Structure 1
Amino acid sequence: MTDRQEPAHKQDLTRRRMILAGGAAVAAAGIGAGAVANASAGESGGRGKNPAGQGEACYRLTSETTEGPYYIDADKIRKDITEGKEGIPMTLRLKVIDSDTCKPVAKAAVDIWHCDALGLYSGYESMSQGGGPGGPGGGGTPPSGAPTDAPTGMPTDAPTGTPPSGGPGGGGHSEPTDDKRYLRGTQLTDKHGHVEFRTIFPGWYQGRAVHIHTKVHVGGTMTDAGYEGGHTCHTGQFFFAEQAVLDSAEVAPYSTSTTTRTTLTEDTIYDRSGVTGGLMKLSYRRKHMDRGVVGSITMGVDPDETHDGTGM
């Protein structure tokens, strides 16, 4: 070994760090200098089997979570799910891999759905517990500043309707109460296991940290009515670093929310396992979050298993 060579185990460690950081680096490249990359300090990916020549870390199985009450079957096949909703633009870059073989899972249907900037879910606006002044879950006059990191006191309005997913009372499914379908969509992964959505940064509602729901379906077929057949091999949620949420709270309309916010450490669903638990890598331009955020994550799934999130 020459003076300029590192021991093999250090080289392996360096390569692994570069691999795990790759998603954030690629995302930041499209935003420019001064970008912020957010992730938990306790983030861990872990390795499964890694065949010779495999160029990417193989993550453990991504944590399974409850489906929650606000799921609507995959019938909106589209990349842009905003439908004109106001909020911080967000590009969501997802990858699905087989956690055992580390190979990409192609032609999997990936569902995502989440609330708007004020905590309302399409299809369930009357049941949602978010909202700004005068809206469902709202408390009247907007606060003078952004929500604090630790919520204090109880909400002024008693919640009505079904509790939010993961909150008190569980997450049994509820039938939609309206025909709106913003911030919901499904796409098929390409041969590399990739899928990308255009959406907005989610807001928050009583009882839950900021999150995005997801399902991964395999073995079905695409039809005019949507994705049909097959089975759901993963039901999970994506989470956001606290600093990113605090930054979003300084931007309208998030800044008008009167809903008490639950922090990531207080959330009843996030299992504190970093990427494995759904914590996303986020990149955005420093002090200019309103211009857009890029979020990315790799989901390790077992295509042979069924996890529909309804029995949790």
Structure 2
Amino acid sequence: MSENQKHRRDMTRRRVLAAGGGVVVAAGIGAGVVSSASADTTSAGATEKTTSGEACYRLTSETTEGPYYIDADKIRKDITEDREGIPLTVRLKVIDSESCEPLQGAAVDIWHCDALGIYSGYESLSTGGGGGAPGGSTPPTGTPPTDAPTGTPPTGAPTGTPPSGGPGGGGGGGHEEPTDDKRYLRGTQLTDKHGYVEFTTVFPGWYRGRCVHVHTKVHVGGTMTSAGYEGGHTCHTGQLFFAESAVLDSAEVAPYSTSTTERTTLDADTIYPGNGSEGGLLTLKYRAKKIEKGVLATLTLGVDPDATHTGTDS
């Protein structure tokens, strides 16, 4: 076999692998969801190039871990607990970015704030969004930033300069030790043989200085124990982002509509890398004008299982 023939064969194999990855993604999210948007369905987010031979070879962008990570010991699908908000299903597929093969048995963590910007484990540090706490609990009593606006509803264009990090901004500032034992909106799942995990949660709210987002980590090489997933290493630390149109729709629904915190848009965020699905921009599906009925968020994460990315040096 000549070198040219060998090259053509290898390229053909790459395209078949890429196409195969796309077919699995489509089959996994259900026929009603993968169909094009209709009169009563909205699709918001990035369009993944599932037919491109290069698509599944792109590494998903690494970002900062943020100050509110807790090494999760809760292996569970439903992380909602008592939090109120728009139902959200997060369905992620994890693949080896070089081979396009799904990673089975990888541990995927997600964690995010509630509808009013409060993080479990850090209620006294979260600046929140005001308007009362969801789930019938008492809002945290921490002192808000002196320049935080009051009485201003969210709009499409934020005002003021967002902070570059620290606990209030959630963009870095080093790890903070938990201040309480709450663990809502946090959990871990192991990927199945097709590389999928699925979480049931609520649509996140916002807090000063950050756009709406969900944190995620992917761990490989560890084992399940009675205490949770242990050992191995973290091969990906990233954040998942939401299209601006969906966030504006959510802001019309209680309890999000009670927030008085100024909102940072996706484009103005200091963490979002601005590169679509490669940077963590979710594909969102929900009924037009009925986002309160629920949202399906999907994304394929391309990771290097041999690399170590903890997000603490970003």
TM-score normalised over the length of structure 2: 0.81
Asked if structure 2 preserves the Cα contact closer than 8 Å seen for 1:24 and 1:281, the reply is no
1:184: which partner in 2?
186
Q: Shift of the alpha carbon at 1:74?
A: 2.1
Letter of the 2:247 partner, please give it. Answer: V
Take 2:113 and 2:292, find their aligned partners in 1: how far apart are those partners?
18
Pair 1:39-2:45 in alignment: yes
2:11: which partner in 1?
none
Letter of the 1:164 partner, please give it. Answer: G
Q: Shift of the alpha carbon at 1:133?
A: 2.9
Pair 1:296-2:298 in alignment: yes
TM-score normalised over the length of structure 1: 0.82
Asked if structure 2 preserves the Cα contact closer than 8 Å seen for 1:112 and 1:214, the reply is yes
Take 1:142 and 1:21, find their aligned partners in 2: how far apart are those partners?
47
Letter of the 1:110 partner, please give it. Answer: V
Cα distance change on mapping 1:19 and 1:273 into 2, 3 Å? same
Asked if structure 1 preserves the Cα contact closer than 8 Å seen for 2:150 and 2:261, the reply is no
SS of 1:247's equivalent in the other structure is helix
Specify every segment of 5 or more residues in structure 1 that has no aligned partner in the other structure, as ranges.
Answer: 1-11, 50-56
Cα distance change on mapping 1:45 and 1:237 into 2, 3 Å? farther
Q: Shift of the alpha carbon at 1:131?
A: 2.5
Asked if structure 2 preserves the Cα contact closer than 8 Å seen for 1:93 and 1:196, the reply is yes
Letter of the 2:114 partner, please give it. Answer: D
Q: Percent identity, aligned pairs only?
A: 67
1:267: which partner in 2?
269
Please provide the CA RMSD for this pair: 3.1
2:32: which partner in 1?
29
Cα distance change on mapping 1:47 and 1:182 into 2, 3 Å? same
Q: Shift of the alpha carbon at 1:25?
A: 9.8
Specify every segment of 5 or more residues in structure 2 that has no aligned partner in the other structure, as ranges.
Answer: 1-14, 133-138
Q: How does 1:112-191 map to 2 (within 5 A)?
A: 112-133=110-131, 135-136=139-140, 137=144, 147-153=154-160, 162-166=167-171, 170-191=172-193
Take 1:27 and 1:96, find their aligned partners in 2: how far apart are those partners?
18
Q: Shift of the alpha carbon at 1:162?
A: 3.0
Letter of the 1:80 partner, please give it. Answer: D
SS of 2:248's equivalent in the other structure is helix
Q: How does 1:1-312 map to 2 (within 5 A)?
A: 19=22, 23=26, 26=29, 29=32, 34-40=40-46, 57-133=55-131, 135-136=139-140, 137=144, 147-153=154-160, 162-166=167-171, 170-312=172-314
Take 1:46 and 1:67, find their aligned partners in 2: how far apart are those partners?
31
Asked if structure 2 preserves the Cα contact closer than 8 Å seen for 1:129 and 1:205, the reply is yes
Asked if structure 2 preserves the Cα contact closer than 8 Å seen for 1:132 and 1:258, the reply is yes
Asked if structure 2 preserves the Cα contact closer than 8 Å seen for 1:27 and 1:283, the reply is no
Q: Shift of the alpha carbon at 1:99?
A: 0.1
Deviation track 1:157-190 (CA, whole Å, cap 9, x = no partner) reads: x9xx833332xxx331000000000000001000
